[in-house]
Structure 1
Amino acid sequence: MRVEDNVTASGRVTAGVLLGALGVLAFSLTLPVTRISVAGLDPWFVAFGRAAVAGVLAIGYLVLSGRRARGSGDAGGGLRPTASQLRRLVVVAIGVVIGFPLFTSIALSQATAAHGAVVVALLPATTAVFAVVRGGERPSPQFWYAAGAGFVAVLTFVAVSGGMAGGFHTADLWFFAAVLVCALGYAEGGALARDLGGARTICWALVLALPVTVPVAVIAAHGLGAATGVEWLGFGYVALISQFLGFFAWYGGLARGGVARIGQVQAVQPVLTLVWSAVLLHEHVDVVTVAVAVVVLGCVVLTQRAR
């Protein structure tokens, strides 16, 4: 099946949509939980330490999956990407293993999770652009209209609800940088996952990044004893779920449903992030949140039905 056919498939709830939604649910907690972690842990340690922990888990997964593959008669075991794939995996590593965690950790030491949701609203549209540039996908005009409507709804919501209070500041630059590198990593990883699988794609990216993530995490590992249990619990979440298991579902969904199309499911993430911010960080959430969530969900449904 061609990528264009996959992207413009029928609006049925497919495995790709379900996997994408599961990934979004996992990622929706990332900003609030990171905000909790950087309150007691160095932002550089949170960013590189989570990737280092996930990288060790990735080695274990690749070894075990390789043994199963060899036992089934696949001599390659799925453990040896081609030279071309390795180059593209470096792009994934720079985007979602190093860039996004680092930039958001720095930004969240200066701004709230709700403020971060403003820029995260740009992620689905930016991912779709990279899917066109890097993956050759060609969504329909109806797709872009629905995606744009969802983007405007979320951006308006977070602006009106106070996410943009205080105006533009340095944290916004970090958030914008995070969105750009993350969208590139999503598009590249989603395309690679069609050949490698979602799990092996993120695992290989994590392993390739280990020579960077481990030394930086060790250097930034100061004052760890002062962190509370809650702050360490937040670090555990971003390491195990945000950086590792969440990508199993997310890249699997992008590979099955198309990067541009499934990427729009993430339009729901800023609203979910604000809900989690209210629960975990005690921010006020009113009935407007529910209303806008319904609007955004409607726009996501339209992107899935666009042909």
Structure 2
Amino acid sequence: MRAEDSATTARTIAVEPVGTGARRPAPDTFPARPAARRGTLLALLGVVTFSLTFPSTVWGLESFGPWSLVALRSLLAAVIAGGFLLAGRVRVPAREHWAGLAVVAGGVVVGFPLLTTLALRTSTTAHAAVVVGLLPLTTAVLSSLRTGARPPRAFWAAAVAGAAVVIAFTLARGGGALSGGDLFLFGALLACAAGYTEGGRLAKVMPGWQVTGWALLLTVPLMSAGAAVALAYEPVRPTVHGIVGLVWVAAVSTFLGLYVWYRGMAEIGVPRASQLQLAQPLLTLFWSYFLLGERVAAAAPVAAVAVLVCIALTQRAGRTRS
């Protein structure tokens, strides 16, 4: 028995170092290669779908008013989400989770789509892409405040640099002053960051796509009333672009995109997946030129790359902290 105990102890020491503060690596820190490849592809697919949200919104505005587009977008996404939840026989969340779901609904389902849609009436998608390129950073700040985490100084230095780039870009494009569209975009950043922060907390107790699904269903009464009122006052001019834009932002951006995104995060972990999303602003600039024929200002790609570098530095600083 003593020999067997010694062998067992040796195996344990080989697997998990002994010492003060020694921790076993998280299960998703080093995924197997097939899982890593699958997760990376899923997360990249999510980033691509998100990068098309702004161009699709511009298309949707060809047929619908901003209030009608947001209401119909949420209702159609809620129908899809309800079908998935029903097919999966998913149980209704516990009472203590509904307050958090309300924050997700207000930030991700209502606030961000509405504010960005209003902004895109006067702002180009290229301009909006650069401003919203700060979304990962804004989420990190709110998440730090929510959880009490203390990132290192290098993180905040890069964060301030990224914010300075975005503010300088928006002021230069606006002739030295923020436009109404920029105010909508910055409001959208705060709303979406709050929704992502609370959604990330809830994703620890339920799958992320269920968080999105229940948040969508929570908005059905409000969006049903909003659609009835908006459609009565805003003219509807059906076009191919308008219908395609509505279907994309509802079925893909609002629900299915989040579904593959969260699946990818589950496979490769949140840190690796979040770094993939840093490519989103540049992809949106490409789509705005290719699909909408927008003239992209020379400063927009430069600002976008600068923002990506700053956010990448914050990710690196946070990852290297012991």
TM-score normalized with structure 1 length: 0.78
Deviates more, 1:146-155 or 1:116-125: 146-155
Give runs of aligned pairs for residues 140-219 of structure 1, distance below 5 A: 140-145=152-157, 164=174, 167-219=177-229
Alpha-carbon contact 2:137-2:311 (below 8 Å) kept: no
1:179–1:17 CA distance, 2 compared to 1 (3 A) = farther
Residues 256-296 of structure 1: per-residue CA shift (max 9 Å, x gap): 734x8754543322222111100111124589877777766
Alpha-carbon contact 1:24-1:250 (below 8 Å) kept: yes
Deviates more, 1:223-232 or 1:15-24: 15-24
AA at the equivalent of 2:199: G
2:45 matches 1:22: yes
Give runs of aligned pairs for residues 225-264 of structure 1, distance below 5 A: 226-252=237-263, 257-258=269-270, 262-263=273-274
Alpha-carbon contact 2:139-2:193 (below 8 Å) kept: yes
Alpha-carbon contact 1:190-1:251 (below 8 Å) kept: no
Larger Cα-atom Rg: 2
Corresponding residue pairs, total: 288
Deviates more, 1:208-217 or 1:106-115: 106-115
Alpha-carbon contact 1:261-1:303 (below 8 Å) kept: no
AA at the equivalent of 2:119: A
State the shift of 1:167 in Å: 4.5
State the shift of 1:46 in Å: 0.8
- Give the one of 281, 286, 296 matched to 2:292: 281
Alpha-carbon contact 1:26-1:246 (below 8 Å) kept: yes
Cα separation, 2, equivalents of 1:292 and 1:48: 32
What does residue 231 of structure 2 align with? 221
1:211–1:150 CA distance, 2 compared to 1 (3 A) = same
AA at the equivalent of 1:210: V
2:110 matches 1:98: yes
Alpha-carbon contact 1:278-1:285 (below 8 Å) kept: yes
Residues 124-157 of structure 1: per-residue CA shift (max 9 Å, x gap): 111001111224444444444555566666777x
AA at the equivalent of 1:197: P
Alpha-carbon contact 1:89-1:205 (below 8 Å) kept: yes
Deviates more, 1:29-38 or 1:178-187: 29-38
AA at the equivalent of 2:103: V
1:261–1:84 CA distance, 2 compared to 1 (3 A) = farther
What does residue 63 of structure 1 align with? 86
State the shift of 1:250 in Å: 3.4
2:57 matches 1:44: no
AA at the equivalent of 1:124: P
Alpha-carbon contact 2:130-2:304 (below 8 Å) kept: no
What does residue 9 of structure 2 align with? none
Residues 177-219 of structure 1: per-residue CA shift (max 9 Å, x gap): 1111001111111221122111111001001111111221122
- Give the one of 80, 94, 102 matched to 1:82: 94
Residue ranges of structure 1 left out of the alignment (5+ in a row): 67-77
1:247–1:189 CA distance, 2 compared to 1 (3 A) = same
Cα separation, 1, equivalents of 2:157 and 2:129: 21
Cα separation, 1, equivalents of 2:140 and 2:165: 17
TM-score normalized with structure 2 length: 0.75
Cα separation, 2, equivalents of 1:284 and 1:133: 38
Cα separation, 2, equivalents of 1:239 and 1:117: 19
Give runs of aligned pairs for residues 108-119 of structure 1, distance below 5 A: 108-119=120-131
Alpha-carbon contact 1:37-1:235 (below 8 Å) kept: yes
Cα separation, 1, equivalents of 2:181 and 2:301: 27
Seq. identity, %: 42
Residue ranges of structure 2 left out of the alignment (5+ in a row): 1-24
AA at the equivalent of 2:277: Q
Cα separation, 2, equivalents of 1:108 and 1:54: 21
**3-state DSSP class of the match of 1:227?**
coil
1:166–1:219 CA distance, 2 compared to 1 (3 A) = farther
State the shift of 1:108 in Å: 1.1
Residues 208-265 of structure 1: per-residue CA shift (max 9 Å, x gap): 111111221122225665221111111110001111111123345567734x875454
